């Protein structure tokens, strides 16, 4: 839960009066709220936690972190299917998927 993942801002738009971004985490693209980092621009990297950009990060650090996370499977832990993980642990599957 405390994992914060660096990602590259690939697009910015305003939604319901709130700045939002599309952020690319090494191939996984997510909607991210920019309310706490409104000055960030397309092409820059940010540390993102539960859908919120919390701090800027330089590109070199961001790419190194993403490489490590990919290698150790942390990206799948963060963005993968939580129901599948839970079902695998419990050795039973829910009747339906909700994501």
Where along the sequence are the contacts to another protein (CB under 8 A)?
A: 1-4, 16-18, 30-31, 33, 35-38, 47, 49-52, 54-55, 57-58, 61, 64-65, 67-68, 72, 77, 79, 82-83, 85-87, 89-92, 94-95, 98-99
Alpha helices for the chain (secondary structure H): 59-72, 74-79, 82-90
The nearest distance, CB 22 to another protein, in angstroms, is 14
Query: Burial code of 4-39, b = ≥16 C-beta within 10 A, e = fewer?
Result: bbbbbbeebeeeeeebbbbbbbbeeeeebbbeebee
The nearest distance, CB 24 to another protein, in angstroms, is 15
The nearest distance, CB 25 to another protein, in angstroms, is 11
Quick one: 43 or 95, whose CB is closer to another protein?
A: 95
Contact 43, 57 (CB under 8 A): no
């Amino acid at each position: 839960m405390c994992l914060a993942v660096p990602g590259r801002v690939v697009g910015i738009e305003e939604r319901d009066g709130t700045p939002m971004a599309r952020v690319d985490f090494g191939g996984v693209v997510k909607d991210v709220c920019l309310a706490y980092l409104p000055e960030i621009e397309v092409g820059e990297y940010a540390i993102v936690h539960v859908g919120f950009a919390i701090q800027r990060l330089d590109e070199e650090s961001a790419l190194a972190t993403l490489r490590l996370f990919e290698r150790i499977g942390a990206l799948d832990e963060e963005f993968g299917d939580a129901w599948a993980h839970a079902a695998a642990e419990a050795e039973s599957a829910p009747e339906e998927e909700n994501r």
